[in-house]
């Protein structure tokens, strides 16, 4: 057994002052750092608990987007006749679903932070922000698994001579996933804070996500939006639109982008950072007394 005495003692002489808090942004970064072990354990828990409960285990992380891609390519592209730039529709959808699934997973888990953990939050203190942050990170595992499936399909399509290309530009997918993570964490924190106050928002979240998915170029190319006279503005108004389109450009088209896409991506990045800042502020305001009302 290890000797505890040789370990560094944590600073024992600090003062914690508990009083009604004022001000907008009072985040104790030092404390967040002290709870980093909790963060890593929660990440593990989220992942383990999710697959231990099911028969097929981690297969679900893969099966769900795969089935969605299949259903949508039949509905949108085969029956609906939407053209996918000469790319086979299944891989076209599967690719866009990489960033979209990660986005919607984060929102679904993050928005329920206060309601799903009310028992825990009512019993013990720790920085509440650890919980949605851990969820956003553990959802990366699902993204990783999905990526493996995507690459398998990609290999098959490339081998059979389909119009798909990949290159070093594929590495740009990493910053795209980071933007997705930041943006979805921000939105989910805003939703968590509002759901704590207005419980009925919990019913709105899935509907909102579905509408958002159809408003984003997941199952159709971006140009369907930009060329549309009525809804062209959606391409700029929806930060996820550029991210989803760009994911496809870097993973399927070898990095070719439409000329306005880089500018759109900059706007998306700004929106993501703004959403995160607002989300953290709202979440911190809500967390102080949320146990009194939830």
Partner 1 sequence: MTAINANRPIVEIENVSKRYRVGTLGPTSLAEAFRAMLPGRKQPAVPNDFGVRNGDIPGTFWSLRDVNFSVQRGEIVGLIGKNGAGKSTLLKLISRITEPTKGRITLRGRIASLLEVGTGFHPELTGRENIFLNGAILGMKRWEIQAKFDEIVEFAEVGSFLDTPVKRYSSGMFVRLAFAVAAHLEPEILLIDEVLAVGDAGFQQKCLGKMGEVASEGGRTIFFVSHNLTAIRALCTRAVLIEDGTAKLSGSPEEVITQYLAATAPTNDGEAGRVVYKTDRHSTDELLLTSLTLRNSRNEICAIFDANEPIHIELRYRVTEPLRGARMLMSLYTTEGDLVLTMTDHELHKPTLERGEYCTRFVVPGGLLNRRAYSFCASSDAPGIRYLVSGGKHLPFSIVGAGNHLSQFPERWPGTVCPRVTTTVELNP
Summarize as ranges the residues that interact with partner 1 (CB under 8 A). Answer: 1-4, 7, 10, 12-21, 35, 37-38, 40-42, 44-45, 48-49, 52-53, 120-126, 197-201, 288-289, 291-293
CB nearer to partner 1: give 34 or 149.
34
CB nearer to partner 1: give 77 or 139.
139
Q: Scanning the structure block, which residue is given the tokens 């199952």? A: 219
Query: Distance between CA atoms of 252 and 249, rounded to whole angstroms?
Result: 6
CB nearer to partner 1: give 216 or 284.
284
* Cα angle for residues 261, 267, 269 (degrees, 5° grid): 105
CB nearer to partner 1: give 3 or 229.
3
Half-sphere exposure of 189 (CA within 13 A, CB side): 30
Q: How far is the CB of 46 from partner 1 (least distance, A)?
A: 10
CB nearer to partner 1: give 93 or 195.
195
* Partner residues linked to 253 by β-bridges: 165
DSSP, res 76:
I
Query: Distance between CA atoms of 151 and 214, rounded to whole angstroms?
Result: 25
Q: How far is the CB of 35 from partner 1 (least distance, A)?
A: 8
Length of the chain: 294
Q: How far is the CB of 163 from partner 1 (least distance, A)?
A: 44
Q: How far is the CB of 290 from partner 1 (least distance, A)?
A: 8
With a CB cutoff of 8 Å and minimum separation 6, the contacts of 85 are: 92, 221, 253
> Helix crossing, 173-197 with 89-111: angle to 10°?
40
Q: How far is the CB of 114 from partner 1 (least distance, A)?
A: 13
């Amino acid at each position: 057994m290890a000797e505890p005495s040789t370990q560094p003692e944590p600073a024992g002489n600090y003062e914690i002052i508990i009083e009604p808090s004022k001000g907008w942004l009072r985040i104790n970064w030092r404390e967040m750092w002290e709870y980093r072990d909790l963060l890593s354990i929660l990440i593990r828990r989220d992942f383990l608990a999710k697959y231990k409960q099911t028969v097929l285990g981690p297969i679900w992380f893969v099966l769900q987007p795969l089935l969605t891609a299949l259903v949508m390519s039949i509905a949108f592209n085969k029956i609906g006749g939407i053209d996918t730039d000469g790319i086979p529709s299944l891989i076209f959808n599967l690719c866009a679903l990489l960033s979209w699934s990660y986005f919607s997973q984060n929102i679904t888990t993050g928005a329920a932070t206060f309601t799903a953990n009310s028992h825990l939050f009512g019993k013990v203190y720790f920085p509440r922000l650890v919980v949605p942050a851990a969820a956003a990170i553990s959802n990366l595992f699902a993204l990783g698994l999905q990526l493996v499936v995507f690459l398998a399909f990609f290999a098959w399509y490339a081998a059979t001579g389909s119009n798909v290309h990949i290159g070093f530009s594929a590495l740009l997918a990493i910053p795209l996933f980071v933007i997705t993570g930041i943006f979805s964490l921000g939105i989910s924190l805003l939703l968590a804070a509002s759901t704590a106050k207005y419980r009925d928002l919990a019913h709105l979240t899935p509907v909102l996500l579905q509408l958002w998915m159809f408003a984003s170029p997941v199952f159709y190319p971006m140009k369907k939006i930009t060329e549309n006279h009525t809804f062209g503005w959606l391409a700029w108004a929806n930060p996820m639109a550029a991210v989803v389109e760009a994911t496809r450009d870097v993973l399927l088209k070898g990095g070719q982008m439409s000329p306005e896409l880089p500018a759109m991506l900059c706007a998306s990045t700004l929106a993501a950072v703004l959403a995160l800042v607002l989300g953290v502020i709202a979440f911190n305001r809500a967390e102080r007394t949320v146990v009194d009302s939830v």
